[in-house]
Amino acid sequence: MTDTNAEQTVPDSLVSEWQRLSPVSIIYFVLKFIMGFAKHGVQNAAIFGGIFIFSGGDNRLPIIIAIVGAAMLLLLVASVLSYLNFRFRINKNAFLIHKGVIQKKRLTLSFDRIQNIALKEPVYFRPFGLVNMALESAGSVTEEVSLAGIDRRLAESLRRSVLSDPKAPMQAESTEPAPTNTEKHSEIPLLHHPVAELVRYGLSNNNVWVFAGLAAGAISQIDEDVSGYIKDWLSVPEAFISSHSTGAVIGLFAGIAILMLAMLLLGSVIGAIVIYYDYRLSFSDGRFHRLKGLFERSDTSLPASKIQALKINQPWPARLLYRSHITLMQIGFSPAFDQGETHVKQAKFIVPSMRHDQISALVATLYPDMAWQTVTFAPIDKLYLKRLFWLDFLTPATVIAILLAGLAATAWFLLLTLVPVIIYPLLRMNYAKHGYWTDGQHIAVRQGVFGHKIVIFPIYKAQGVKIKRSPGQRRKGLATLVVKLAGHKVSVPYIPHEAAMRWRDRILHTLATDRTPWM
């Protein structure tokens, strides 16, 4: 709920006429087109592969050189035209953007919709004192506008003005350099990660599976010649298996698995260092301020008032390292969310690899009236576990097992009888991780299996609430509470119906009476 009587504006000194970006931004457009081409790599590789195959034998090389030269020329022309057709203007309360070569776009982004402004400084902008000013707006799942190649001092002044409290008295700002850390008011340093901490993050996040997926996708797209080489390589282990003992074969495959896992972990660690190098997080004047990046230095400022919830994620590798990863969840909507999808891609403000004491400091900064150290989660009802095992797992598994038994009752089929024995402990762990807590002002919900995820949010940021009850829940006096935030959903399953009604009434009362701005 925003205060409609207060409108965010910038000082007259920052209001401008229509202007272009720096000519250096042509480099940005070149790289942007290259990245777009790479995202469609499979299709583009197929096109060039077809050209390579069907071009004449002796004339193949000149044809390829001509095609590559034409593509580079087209890339340069498209980048220059994108630069020439990109214009922006700043008025009292909005950014006005004109862009596009073939498809013209006219964008108006009002300041009160902007929830995050990141100043990104690629290596090619640093010598010129320029930055890429990325604007993330409420209701957008990605950054909506990028002003690539504007003066850093202007960008910092705009960010201070746009993200300032609209009810606070506005003072004229100049394009002088931003104040140093010693000049900022009540700055609270929260985090400064050395490289060793980023290594822990690379080892403990889920990016290793992203690298595994990319590797699998790359392998699935290889051509027949490479497939032939791989088959030749695979013939080596086949010969090894036929001439060595079972123990040696097991050792070989264990070594290969360990080597592949080590390569995936190395890729994850390198990615973490490149993205989060020299990570710094501080809090000043109601905003979280983040610095990170090796090749592209990113300077992001996020007002605390625009944070909808805080998510504490501890995958099982992070649990072994006594670390957790934090996400400050912002506003974000998409058609998938409107259709009930709760895992919507959104702009993420990630705080990697935090110890328990650092998490306590962050929670105290964001929610000063919440006693995080005293939080004790109440368990959900055991009927949830029975439903998981009997309805969601065992019944489908039994049907599949009966069908397989009719097709091929072999010795391997007998191993299916062990699946429930293996699955049940995992389901029980999932049940045990579920928990919920409230102090009347905040709500915290926990879930997980090996690790856990905890979502914390103040009640006044809720946008809606509903109670769902299945026939089984009705018989046992239980219910599932679903709280809708601005772009997120939080579900608390299988809690007493009386507790669900108390939570619902508390949330609805807060929505009706609390006028605290939520964005």
Domains: count for the chain: 3
Look at residues 230, 257, 276 and tell me which one is the last residue of a structural domain.
276
Task: Please check whether residues 271 and 337 belong to one and the same domain.
Answer: no
Q: What is the pLDDT along the chain (519 residues), one digit of tens a residue?
A: 444 445 666 676 777 788 889 999 999 999 888 887 776 654 555 555 555 555 555 666 777 777 778 888 988 999 999 999 999 988 888 888 999 888 888 888 888 778 788 899 998 999 999 999 988 876 554 456 789 999 999 888 888 888 775 544 333 344 444 444 444 457 889 999 999 999 999 988 876 655 555 555 444 444 444 455 555 555 555 555 666 667 776 777 788 888 888 888 888 899 899 999 999 999 988 889 999 999 989 998 888 888 889 999 999 899 999 999 999 988 764 444 444 444 444 557 899 999 999 999 999 999 999 999 889 999 999 999 888 777 656 555 555 655 555 555 555 555 666 666 777 888 889 899 999 999 989 999 999 999 999 999 999 999 899 999 988 899 999 999 999 988 788 999 999 999 999 999 999 999 889 887 766
* DSSP symbols for 298-363: EEEEEEGGG--EEEEEE-HHHHHTT-EEEEEE-----HHHHTT--------EEEEEE-HHHHHHHH
Task: Please check whether residues 375 and 462 belong to one and the same domain.
Answer: yes
**pTM as predicted:** 0.75
Task: Please check whether residues 364 and 398 belong to one and the same domain.
Answer: no
Read off the DSSP letter of residue 64.
H
Q: Strand order in 478-484's β-sheet?
A: 464-468, 478-484, 489-496
Residues 6 or more apart from 349 whose CB is under 8 A from it? 116, 288, 290, 300, 302, 307, 327, 328, 330
**Does residue 110 belong to any structural domain of this protein?**
no
Residue 220, pLDDT score: 47
Residue 144, pLDDT score: 66
Read off the DSSP letter of residue 381.
P
Task: Please check whether residues 238 and 317 belong to one and the same domain.
Answer: no
Domain range holding 446? 307-380+434-513
Read off the DSSP letter of residue 185.
T
User: C-alpha angle 212/213/215, rounded to 5°?
Assistant: 65
**Does residue 183 belong to any structural domain of this protein?**
no
Residue 83 sits at φ, ψ, to 5 deg, of -65, -45
Closest C-alpha to 88, from 8, 160, 175, 151: 151
**Does residue 470 belong to any structural domain of this protein?**
yes
Bridge partners, 435 (sequence order): 379, 446
Which tokens in the block code for residue 325?
């990863």
**Does residue 227 belong to any structural domain of this protein?**
yes
Residues 6 or more apart from 273 whose CB is under 8 A from it? 195, 198, 199, 202, 294
Bridge partners, 134 (sequence order): 118, 146
Read off the DSSP letter of residue 508.
H
Task: Please check whether residues 387 and 440 belong to one and the same domain.
Answer: no
CB neighbourhood size of 96 (10 A):
15
**Does residue 15 belong to any structural domain of this protein?**
no
Task: Please check whether residues 417 and 455 belong to one and the same domain.
Answer: no
User: Do the beta carbons of residue 349 and residue 300 sit within 8 Å?
Assistant: yes
User: Do the beta carbons of residue 380 and residue 436 sit within 8 Å?
Assistant: yes
**Does residue 462 belong to any structural domain of this protein?**
yes
**Does residue 295 belong to any structural domain of this protein?**
no
Residue 44, pLDDT score: 55
Residue 235, pLDDT score: 56
Task: Please check whether residues 265 and 227 belong to one and the same domain.
Answer: yes
Three-state DSSP class for residue 240:
helix
**Does residue 7 belong to any structural domain of this protein?**
no
Task: Please check whether residues 376 and 442 belong to one and the same domain.
Answer: yes
Task: Please check whether residues 338 and 419 belong to one and the same domain.
Answer: no
Residue 174, pLDDT score: 40
Residue 344, pLDDT score: 43
Read off the DSSP letter of residue 138.
T
Look at residues 276, 294, 315 and tell me which one is the last residue of a structural domain.
276
CB neighbourhood size of 465 (10 A):
20
Which tokens in the block code for residue 339?
């259709």
Task: Please check whether residues 450 and 483 belong to one and the same domain.
Answer: yes
Look at residues 256, 276, 296 and tell me which one is the last residue of a structural domain.
276
Q: Is 487 left (phi over 0), alpha (psi -120 to 50) or beta?
A: left
Task: Please check whether residues 446 and 500 belong to one and the same domain.
Answer: yes
Task: Please check whether residues 365 and 450 belong to one and the same domain.
Answer: yes
CA-CA-CA-CA torsion for 342, 338, 478, 472, nearest 10 degrees?
-100
Residues 6 or more apart from 298 whose CB is under 8 A from it? 118, 119, 120, 121, 290, 291, 292
Looking up tokens 């108390």 gives: 502
- 57-to-69, 201, 330, 429, 508 alpha-carbon distances in Å: 19, 50, 56, 62, 74
